[in-house]
Amino acid sequence: MGFLTPSKESPGLHVSAEPIYRFHDDPAAWSTRTASEPAGSYHCGSCGQSDSARGSRDVAALVDDYTAHHGPAHKKGSK
């Protein structure tokens, strides 16, 4: 999945977690659990800052940071 990792040439935010695969008629199929820890990374195309995180809380904080200070925030004129 290296091609999905944000970089200077392809900035942005990427978050992933391997799902638990179950049969379609299994009531637990709608679980929000994942088979592996979520992982995320970003590279800001405007200021060049990069960061990465692993684990639910850290990835959620990474997304909040990217949303508030990079990517879309730069387009609004804030930093």
Residue 67 resides in a domain: yes
Instruction: Give pLDDT, residue 27.
Output: 63
Instruction: Give pLDDT, residue 2.
Output: 54
Length of the chain, in residues: 79
What Rg value do the Cα atoms of the chain yield, rounded? 15
Positions in the chain short of pLDDT 50: 78-79
Residue 60 resides in a domain: yes
Residue 19 resides in a domain: no
Instruction: Give pLDDT, residue 17.
Output: 82
Q: How many domains does the chain have?
A: 1
Instruction: Give pLDDT, residue 79.
Output: 47
- Compute the distance between CA of residue 30 and CA of residue 40 in angstroms, rounded to an integer: 23
Query: pTM of the prediction?
Result: 0.70
Residue 77 resides in a domain: yes
Residue 27 resides in a domain: no
Contact 48, 11 (CB under 8 A): no
Partnered with residue 13 across adjacent β-strands are 42
Query: Which range of residues forms the domain containing residue 61?
Result: 1-13+35-79
Instruction: Give pLDDT, residue 57.
Output: 92
Instruction: Give pLDDT, residue 8.
Output: 82
Residue 48 tokens read as: 């060049």
